[in-house]
Chains A and B, each alone.
Chain A
């Protein structure tokens, strides 16, 4: 039992409005203490898969129609999102979703609600987040709506950290951000991973950055896993380089990477 993955996704299928198949049988394991990157183009099913994990599909008329998700070895099918947060599984949504009219600090405190933190714990966690993202401390009294996109992303991550997660899900944290900010955010995530053993499952279109920081990765295409393996191996593969990293000229048809690579 020592090596039970922290998160097990087993043959999960996600359908929206009983008609649109977004994820078609995906299986993944995320080990304790690693950074796992979920790569793929728009509409590949990355967000749907993350939403299935944190049980927020209902809000978008989606449903897990097949398969199951286990967190810490336990199936989470019937656990509401607030229970998952309490158990240590916290998601940062795509597009940040800060509470624009609350101040930065109020946003962060909101993140402690789900955990049910005491006043002292909240204070301690605030200090922790401010240490991770010093810019947030400078702007703590400002309305979140006045922050730049990058600062809002930091706020969203900081807010999730307030719940003291063991597994942090991030949905496209690089969306709409300058490369230098993306690098800073990934640096902080890596720091959290190394120093505090935080397990991270991150979905990204920016495959180059994600593969540089991740331990393992999987590539989704049309709701299926098209490739998976250690980040280093994937980074070296010609088809991945061509299709997602733009490092070598594109082959005439990108059909090569539909075979699965097992590691």
Chain B
């Protein structure tokens, strides 16, 4: 809408793009710094003492507790612990987990694959399903299809993830009466699974219930965005033109309305990562999926300060990164918001 002014020169455009990108980068860097500080102090306000929690019920002496405290670095003044943590982060060292006695970075690397697999598949399927149904719902808002679809999606959206996961396990995994268990109750592969083909198949089989849970819980947001976005497009002049050309209704929707309505949903894909992260923690816990969510859950119970602060920084950084990407990519997709 700003194009009433003289067409900007190429150099000028490049400059303003650079300024825009620099601005976004600076914001992201500031958020990241805030996350680093919060990650340290947030978990130290948590009540409880990791050493006491880890030795709970064990017949240990005060000296043994002291030695553990020393090994964890908890005997040092807070400011020094903070300094170690920050300098460690600068060297890409996320610290050491108390309970696993391993570098947090190693633990994360070990677990990130399963999480990306689960969260990625879940998000992709949820987006496809949500966009597909949303396009249909938005095309005839208020119609029976719209009402059923929206109601079902919102029902699942409001169902607690934990409960839905357990329900699926009870119904489909453990077997009731004459019905055998169709899917595993948890884990990523059965112990002792070897060979690439059976590993892939076994993993896919183990993924069915967790992915279903994830999709059921999150597809509603894609559906709602697509629906409202398509409803906005519905009255647009170019659709009247398309209809006037004699195109079939379905074609008008698919070829003309949907591509334009897709734009806002693209950013949603990026921005949603935060919700995906929190969703995946719950899904992984219910289904004992050996990913980052399960790792985080096990760390919170101690509290394993090294582990939870490291994971917190990684989770937060990935959300910030995705937001940044969305900011940078959107202008490329939608010329109207180009700086």
Q: Do A and B come from one complex?
A: no
> Taking beta carbons and an 8 Å cutoff, which residues of B are in contact with A?
none
